[in-house]
Structure 1
Amino acid sequence: MSNPVSGRAAANVAAAALPRLALLSLSLPLLLSSLATSSANIALPTLAQVWQASFQQVQWVVLGYLLAVTSLIVGVGRLGDLFGKRRLLLGGLALFSLASLLCALAPSLPLLIAARALQGLGAAVMMALTLAFVGELVPADKTGSVMGLLGTTSALGTALGPSLGGLLIAALGWRAIFLLNVPLGLLALWLVWRQLPGPDRQPAAPRPSFDVAGTLLLAGSLAAYALAMTLGRGQFGVRNLALLAAALLGAGLFVLVEARVASPLLQLRLFRQPLLRASLASSLLVAAVVMVTLLVGPFYLAHTLGLGSGAVGLVVAVGPLVAALSGVPAGRLVDRLGAQRMQLAGLAGVALGCGLLALLPSRFGVAAYVAPMTLLTAGYALFQAANTTQSMAAIDTAQRGLMAGMLNLARNLGLISGSALLGAVFAAAAGGAAAAASPAQVAHGMHVTFAVALPLVVLALLLSASAGYRALRPTLASSRQP
């Protein structure tokens, strides 16, 4: 005869294990999406050699993926809200796995680029809906910890991509970096199928229609903006201006459509909420600053400090490693001390790191780079956990997929804008072609770039502080009444 006490204990163990497996089913898709971004970068020289192509041609292996993610992530988030997050996440994982196989089998560069765009569509689904699922699986007082864990997972994928991709290319060839995603994608598919809640319960009211016109206009506008910021080899010419004009025109038409359709993709009234406006704007600004660390850092370490390629890789990996180690502690701090307070603390850390990178002279060596970068990256991890937690808590359950898509969109737009605009600042401050600049010119370029980046972080800090005060003002006013 079984012991009832041991039976209850076993049940408790099983109940405790289920959330961990469910969280693994959310973490793995995020790991795959970030791994697919960073591992492809390391393959570009090999691809250029295999197909005798220029850097600008093989660059589309990365751009095609990022454009698909950026232009479609809001639309797929909304689709998840309307038709079921679990169902769409399963479809996204299946598409990602199939597209990864097509990438590995691609017989030509154009077909590889097309398969990468398909892979980006699957990744957009995975990135949007994993965040949206957190509110349905995790109690409110544990949301920050889970967001921190997911941030750690994403940073881990970014950190592992270059080293793992390099090992696979050296041992098995470039196709192996795409083949790796297939069994991992199928494992994630199985975990989601087994661990996440069943088909979403649909409300009794008729399901709102999907805003096809708004989705196409937004996707087209975002794609035009992304192309305007990335084409031209660092030169902003007529083609870039035309694409930027098309993006602005598309954005204007999108606003007009959203104001008239019965079930808009993006309800413009959401932007009346100060916290959500500040969260999206801050995410964009800070992502732009984080992106420039990946662009400027290698030049500074190699040309000014004279490090070899292996040492540069190790030092650059400090940022993603710190982000990975900071994610879970940052999430716990958010749960314990509050999202708004930790968001401001994280932004303060990013601002202090930027200030030190702008001021510390190169004669202090690698330490003068690593210490501020550690502070900046840890601050960013804390900001991300707090910002995501606060944004998802401020939105209705029925729109969490959309909100997750918007947060990812703001981050991607920040990465694209930071690469283009702050990259141009660095090139100009370093005397034009950074690769041919003297060590002193590169150091000057880095200092100027982070001096320009610092006001962006301060602006994000002011926006977040102002929005937090406006949100608390009614509570403060009522507490003062006798």
Structure 2
Amino acid sequence: MMTTIAAARSAGATRWTLTSLSLSMLLSSLGTSIANVGLPTLSEAFNAPFQSVQWVVIAYLLAITALIVSVGRLGDITGRRRLLLIGIGLFTLASALCAVAPTLNLLITARALQGLGAAIMMALTLAFVSDAVPKPRIGRAMGMLGTMSAIGTAMGPTLGGLLIYGFGWRAIFLITVPLGLLTGWLAYRWLPADSAKSGARRSGFDVPGTLMLVVMLTAYGLAMTIGRGSFGWLNSALLVFAGVALWMFVSIEKRVASPLIHLEMFRDPDLSACLAMSALVTMVMMATLVVGPFYLSEALELDAVGVGLVMSVGPLGAALTGVPAGRVVDRFGARRMTVSGLAAMVIGCFALSITPAEFGIGGYVVAVAVITSGYALFQTANNTAVMADVIADQRGVISGLLNLSRNLGLVSGAAALGAVFALASRSVGSNLAHPDAIAHGMQTTFAVALMLMGMALVIALRRLKAHGR
């Protein structure tokens, strides 16, 4: 009887722990998607051009990209529970500051601070799973986190539009304050305590390496995002600077006693393969977000409401697939399901690369649903494969690297595949709004995406063969 009661209490604690981690993932993804819809309103409110207000989004993404590995490592050293609580508190405070910001510059600064909180939440949420969930159920937990991330991405534009219409732009930031307070209370109440030895390793934090990595990732992120799709001399200079910073970072990591990233980790073929596949896959997912709106509005002639509804199909499909995908991964193994997820994405990209506009909305929706369902399965399987066997004092930095590969894929995909779409569209005619030009641009973009997915699938098949299953 006592054993049954103890087991029930343990199961209840695990559920509440996963609830707090799921809300952390929801908040960080909601923080990304909810602000995009507010850019036109912010441009009017602050009487500023798009080039200025776009930094409300860029500042958030740059902070996450530049800091996510560093905060993951800091969590390994100082204690993940302690740092995650700080991250949730920072995100909540920054949300309130965004809501009351009197000027655009202060809003952008608050968004960067909010991005720092989101980086902590994203890195340490994945790292906590192995502490909170038995190994045979890690896939289900990863599926749940993937579902919450997809829900945050899907609901952001719709929720943001409703809040702006009813209460003004400040409401899109204010809404995350009570959610942050609830998440913080649940995390404080249910997350397992840090081990006593965590605090003993504080002196091992690699400050020079951290600063150089932040410089490198910031330069790369700026090179890929500024200029609204054009790639000028400043973008090139930033890219070269990022390359120099990368070389300096590697040199530092080879010399310091306690490196931020042990470069020997990349000799592990499984880890390197998982990171490479993650970057390739998110490049393709970004293409659906960049190209999709143009194709739906110009080639299929949908209005704004129609575009929004069709665009929500992808994230909703990923949300519905996430939890079942976790169960499938637990049952059949992460490597096999990685291959299955990538195979589905290959099929979806192939469909979009040959689908003419005559197939209409139905053809587009089916192809995107296949891509996003495959992505949900891949992400769950890939995250499980990476995090299941990581030693305790490396979980934060490995989780940070996994999230970093995803973010680098997103910014690289927006730049590279966005450029492919623009060039392919112009090759048909000078008028980018012409339906034939848009359709050709989409087909060409997803032909390139198909090649990227083929590369990822080859990597996954080689891993599967190497492990004999």
Q: Distance in 1 between matches of 2:51 and 2:161?
A: 21
1:206 and 1:386 map into 2 onto residues whose CA distance is 32
Query: Following TM superposition, by how much is the alpha carbon of 1:306 offset from its aligned partner in structure 2, in angstroms?
Result: 1.2
The CA distance in 2 between the partners of 1:308 and 1:359, in whole Å, is: 24
Counterpart of 1:395 in structure 2 is 390
| Amino-acid identity (%) | 56
2:447 is matched with which residue: 441, 451, 463?
451
Tell me how far apart the structure 2 counterparts of residues 252 and 156 of structure 1 sit (CA, whole Å).
Answer: 38
Cα deviation, residue 341, structure 1: 0.2
| Per-residue deviation, residues 273-326 of structure 1 (Å, max 9, x unmatched) | 111000000000000000010111111111111111111111110000000000
**Aligned ranges for residues 172-191 of structure 1 at < 5 Å?**
172-191=167-186
- From the CA coordinates, give the structure whose radius of gyration is larger: 1
- In 1: Cα distance, 2:10 partner to 2:216 partner: 46
Shift of 1:393: 2.2
- Aligned position for 1:461: 457
Counterpart of 1:284?
279
Q: Work out whether residues 85 and 200 of structure 1, in 8 Å CA contact, stay in contact via their aligned partners in 2.
A: no
- 1:11 is displaced (CA, Å) by 4.9
Q: How far has the Cα of 1:163 moved from its partner?
A: 0.6
Within 5 A, what are the aligned runs for 1:76-475?
Answer: 76-202=71-197, 209-431=204-426, 436-470=432-466, 472=467
* Change in 2 beyond 3 A, CA 1:71/1:435: farther
Aligned to 1:156, what secondary structure does the other structure show?
Answer: helix
Give TM-score, length-normalised by structure 1.
0.94
Q: Is the 8 A contact 2:79 2:199 kept in 1?
A: no
Q: Distance in 2 between matches of 1:278 and 1:255?
A: 20
Mapped to 2, the partners of 1:321 and 1:431 lie a distance apart of: 32
2:387–2:399 CA contact under 8 A, matched in 1: yes
- 1:27–1:49: structure 2 CA closer, same or farther, 3 Å change rule? same
Per-residue deviation, 1:364:
1.2
Which ranges of structure 2 fall in alignment gaps of 5 or more residues? none
Provide the C-alpha distance between the structure 2 equivalents of 1:422 and 1:442, rounded to a whole number of angstroms: 14
2:20 is aligned, of 17, 25, 47, to 25
Residue of structure 2 equivalent to 1:41: 36
Amino acid at match of 1:15: S
Aligned length: 468
> What does residue 479 of structure 1 align with?
none
Conservation of the 8 A alpha-carbon contact between 1:275 and 1:464: no
Segment drifting more, 254-263 vs 306-315: 306-315
Q: What's the CA shift for 1:179?
A: 0.8
Q: 4+ residue runs of structure 1 moved beyond 4 angstroms?
A: 7-12, 203-208, 432-435
Distance (whole Å) between structure 2 residues aligned to residue 219 and residue 428 of structure 1: 32
Amino acid at match of 1:437: A
CA contact 1:427–1:434 (8 Å) conserved in 2: no
Decide whether the 8 Å contact of 1:275 with 1:468 is kept in 2: no
Farther off after superposition, 461-470 or 33-42: 461-470
Q: Is the 8 A contact 2:78 2:198 kept in 1?
A: no
- Separation in structure 2 between the aligned mates of residue 434 and residue 374 of structure 1, nearest angstrom: 31
1:370-419 deviation digits (Å, cap 9, x = unpaired): 11111100000000000000011242121010011001000000000000
Give 2:437's aligned amino acid.
Answer: Q
Amino acid paired to 1:439: P
Task: After TM superposition, give the deviation of residue 237 of structure 1 in Å.
Answer: 1.0
- Alignment TM-score, normalising by the size of structure 2: 0.97
2:10 — aligned with what?
15
Counterparts of 2:276 and 2:316, CA distance in 1: 26
Q: Which amino acid aligns with 2:120?
A: V
Moved more, 435-444 or 185-194: 435-444
Give the direction of change, closer, same or farther, for the CA distance of 1:224–1:435 in structure 2 (3 Å limit): farther
Q: Deviations over 1:9-43 (max 9, x none)?
A: 65554332221111001000110001111000011
Residue 60 of structure 2 is matched in structure 1 by 65
Q: 1:115 to 1:204 in 2, by over 3 A?
A: closer
- Provide the C-alpha distance between the structure 2 equivalents of 1:205 and 1:176, rounded to a whole number of angstroms: 42
- Give 1:360 shift: 1.6
Q: 1:261 to 1:166 in 2, by over 3 A?
A: same
Q: Aligned to 2:457, what secondary structure does the other structure show?
A: helix
| CA deviations over 1:143-199 (Å, ceiling 9, x no partner) | 001000000000000001011111111111111111111111111111111001113
Q: 2-side partners of 1:323 and 1:346: how far apart?
A: 12
SS at match of 1:366: helix
Contact 2:339 2:457 in 1 (8 A): yes
In structure 1, what is the Cα distance between the partners aligned to 2:227 and 2:315?
29
Go from structure 1 to structure 2 and tell me whether the alpha carbon gap of 1:205 and 1:306 turns closer, same or farther (over 3 Å shift). closer
Q: How far is the alpha carbon of 1:104 from its aligned partner?
A: 0.6
